[in-house]
Structures are given as structure tokens and as C-alpha cells.
Amino acid sequence: MAMQAVVPRINPSSTSAEETPPSANVAGNPAPNHAFSSNQAPQPGSPPPNLPPTSPPEETTGPTLPPEPFWGNKLVLIVAGGVLLVILLALAFFFFHHRRQPSQPVTLTYWGLWEPAGVVQGVIAEFEKTHPNIKINYRLSDPTDYQARLENSLARNQGPDIFRLHVTWLPVFADQLAPVPAAVEQTLDLDHNYFSVVSRSLKMGGHYLALPLMVDNLALFYNQKILQAAGLKPPRTWWGLEEMAKKLTTRDPNQRIKVAGVALGTASNVDHWSDIVGLMLYQNGVDLHHPQKSRQSLQEALAFYTIFSRRDHVWDATLPKSTLAFASERLVFYLAPSWRIFNLQDMNPKLRFATAPVPKLPKNTAGVDMAAAEKSGKLNEINWATFWVEGVNRHSPHQKQAWEFLQYLASKAGLQRLYQAESQIRAFGEIYPRRDLAKGLGANPLLRPFINQADTSYVWYLASATHDNGPNEAMRKYFADAINGLNQGKSDDEVIKTLLQGINQVRSRYRLP
């Protein structure tokens, strides 16, 4: 089904009215000069005198003025030049004196998540070498209740200068975030150098509100040993995934699941169920800004998600959490973000697994042959993103220095140094948000699907593992109730009606677009 077009927000150019200069003065016409006759008028009654012929009057010259003294003009020029020289010298002294004058040292407080201080400190040290008057105090925060603590500290004007937040929190923190300065945006060229999901997700009102140091999305993990033994390749479509899951699910004599085909259908033990549901909603054309207008598509997506547990029985609520089940080789297919790779490698170093793009829907589902679409049909490239970004406190007295630091971190050189530091403590660093850098990560087959999907990924308020007490958790609760209701046999109409009411409440409460 066709995806709803994402309407780009227009960046209203800021114009300032200029005062019209006064019109040039216009000189009036010069008054005419009138010559007065020096002849005396004749007395009344006398005959006019016989006047001799007149001849042109002789030219008379006035007294000759002495020439203006030469030294007077020169003195004026000397005085004017001296004054100008003094002014220039004063300006030069002022400029160079203040340029040499060191600025006052500034310490920036930076609340981070996930990355230990040992990883970030090396990058900070590189920045401080070229910015000796800026010191960064990095603090690794506990993710538990982090969103609430951050919100409370900012409300009391006691918050950090720089802080990490999930991309879906932007509406909640919009009043506390300083917009990215135009100079920083242009220097980094966010619209072109970075994956499209960055501009779609981080712009509000035509302005970027944060900078990304990474991106992530969902991919399909699969057990290589099981798939190779069955002679199968990873599915391309949801239909193909369903068929393979039914074929590969194994049961004990009591019909209890031994190896599940795919972790889908429940909200209790599928670790990233809400991200998967969000992906299905986007792919099925649900208008998440106006879900009431696409009620049927919303109902279809939720019904399909629950099919795997209530009809196909390839997954159920008795099984362990999906990450543990996959690591224990009791699950064939598992959808998750890239950071789960580290969890799986830690939990079972001998596990043979790979990643593939998430399943898609055919571009035209009307009358389509699903088997043909699975084999070679054209698919809609719509994916799901979830990642963290860095923002600057709007009330920080050191915004200029904060943006200098973040511009460095988000630059090509800064991202490379950060990735190298992250790779020292785990298999690889965060996926680059820049296209040019991310291409170099494609040599790692586990990362390739995530990189290829980044440009066509979208975010919404169903992100998992954000540890917030905000829009994601509130929205997830209503969708979990809907999934549980369908699995319990409640009518679709009843479930969808309650869900739509919940979506509207969450959107209103958190001022979501």
C-alpha cells in the first residue's frame, strides 16, 4: 500500500523591515537678478533733454585681492591627516589588544547516555586542545527515569548545557532546546551530508533542534544454521516471513513450541514489539498524524501483527523474551535495532546469526501474487528508525561554546574519532549519521542492512527502550492494550475505538505534531 507522503516543512525566511532613507534635498530655482538704473529721472513738465549718443560703458574692475596663503591650506590638511591617523591607531590598538586578550574559561556540563566517560573523554581532549578556554564536564547518566530528571532540572534552570535525548522527545523539550545556529547547520550541511531521516526527524518549525551522532533502525535477524539447514534465504516480504515461520516452527509432543518461527504477535515478550508495530503502520499507509482518517489501515496492521500468535501459533506468551530466545537458538527470526548485536554476542558467542532488511509490502498490493512478490517483486522501501541526539539548553549562558563543541562532535573528524573510541570497547561503534562515512561500514555484513535502510526510515512515538515517562511509554500502553484485546478475542471495532481515543489523548498531552 502506498505510504503517506511526508510533507516537508517550509522554512519561513526571517525578514526585517528596513527604514526607507529620506529623499535627497531638491534645490529651489534661483531668484532672478534685477539691475537698477543709476540715471536720475527728469522733473515733471520739463522737456526731455537732448541726450548725446551713448557709447558702451567702460569696463571697470574691482580691487585685486591678494592670493590665499599657501601655508593655511597645508595646515588644514596636516591637522586633518593627524586626526585620521590617531583614530586609525586607536582602532588598531583596540582590535589587537582585545584579540590577544584571552576569553574567560568556560566549563560546559554534558549529560550523556550509553557511552562511558572513557570513550568520550578522548574526543573531548582533542577538542580542548584547540579550544583551551572551553572545558567539558561529561557525565554518564543512568537511563532509569532519565527523561523525567532531565525535564525537572531544565524546568528549574539547573539543567546541563548539553544533553542527550531520544529523537521522539523533541516535542516534549521543544521549549528548552536552543535551535541549531544557521552557521552550524550550513557548515555541517545537515540537509545533504546526513541521512534523510535526520532532516525529517530533527526539524520543527523549519529549524533543527538537535544534532545526531548516530542513527539506527530495525533489521531482521535470523539464525544462519537453521535457515541453511532448510535451504532457505531470508524473506523479502511479510507474506514470505509468515510462510517461513510456519514451516520452521517446531513443537514437542504436547504441541508446545520448541523453536519459534518468529517473535511476533504479543506485547509481553517481544522486546521491540512497538517498533515493529510502528513499522507496519507506516508500511500499511496509516496517517499517524490523523489516524482516524486511516482507521481501516490501522485495524489491518494490528490484525496482521497478532496473526502470528492467535492464528499461526508460531509464537506465544509462554516463551521467554525474544532476545533471550534468539540467543538460546529457540527462535529463527527476530526484529531488533543494531545495538542488540552486542547483546547477542555477549549472551552466546557461538551463535551464528546474520541480518537482513526488514520485510516489506509490495508496491501495489491490489491483486498481487504474493509468491511472485516474494521472489522478485518491487517493494515499498519504508523502514523504522530509533536513535538518540544531542541538544543545547536554551537557557544556558554558554550556548555559543556548546554549539562549537557539538559542531566538532558531529563533524566528519569528530564522528570518526568517536567511532574509533567506541570500537575499542565493542565490536563496532555507533552507525554514522553521515552518508559518506556510513558507506565505509558496509563492509561489515551485520551493519549493511541498517545502513541501506537509513535514508528511508521514519520515527514515531512507539519507540522501545527509551526509558521515558513520556510520549513513547504512554503511546505504547494504549497499543499494548489493543494487542492484548485482539489476542483475547475482543472485537476489532471496540479495540480500535479505544485505541484512537488513547492516541488523541497522548498527542494532546505532549503536544505531539
pLDDT band for position 18 (cuts 50, 70, 90): very low
DSSP per residue over 142-187, as a string?
Answer: PSTTHHHHHHHHHHTT---SEEEEEGGGHHHHTTTBPPPPHHHHHH
Q: What's the Rg (C-alpha) of the chain?
A: 38
Which residue, chain included where needed, has cell 522737456?
47
Distances from the Cα of 292 to the Cαs of 232, 277, 511, in angstroms?
40, 17, 18
Closest by CA to 128, choosing from 395, 433, 409, is 409
pLDDT of residue 91: 66
- Going along the chain from its start, the domains and CATH numbers come out as 106-215+387-438 (3.40.190.10), 218-384+470-509 (3.40.190.10)
pLDDT of residue 364: 82
Question: Residue 176 above 70 pLDDT?
Answer: yes
Which residue, chain included where needed, has cell 529523537?
167
pLDDT above 90 covers what percent of the chain?
Answer: 78
pLDDT tens for 70-111 read 445 555 556 556 667 666 766 655 555 444 445 689 999 999
pLDDT of residue 8: 35
pLDDT tens for 223-238 read 999 999 999 999 999 9
pLDDT of residue 89: 67
- pTM confidence score: 0.81
pLDDT band for position 365 (cuts 50, 70, 90): confident
259 vs 315: CA distance, rounded Å: 9
Question: Residue 355 above 60 pLDDT?
Answer: yes
455 vs 331: CA distance, rounded Å: 29
pLDDT of residue 220: 99
Residue 400 CA, chain-centre distance (Å), reads 19
Q: Residue 73 contacts by C-beta under 8 Å, 6 or more apart in sequence? A: none
φ and ψ of 299, to 5 deg: -65, -40
Closest by CA to 270, choosing from 336, 328, 341, 220, is 336
Question: Residue 43 above 70 pLDDT?
Answer: no
Residue 467 near residue 144 (C-beta atoms within 8 A): yes
Question: Residue 47 above 90 pLDDT?
Answer: no
Residue 428 near residue 435 (C-beta atoms within 8 A): no
At 331, which helix (H) or strand (E)?
strand 331-337
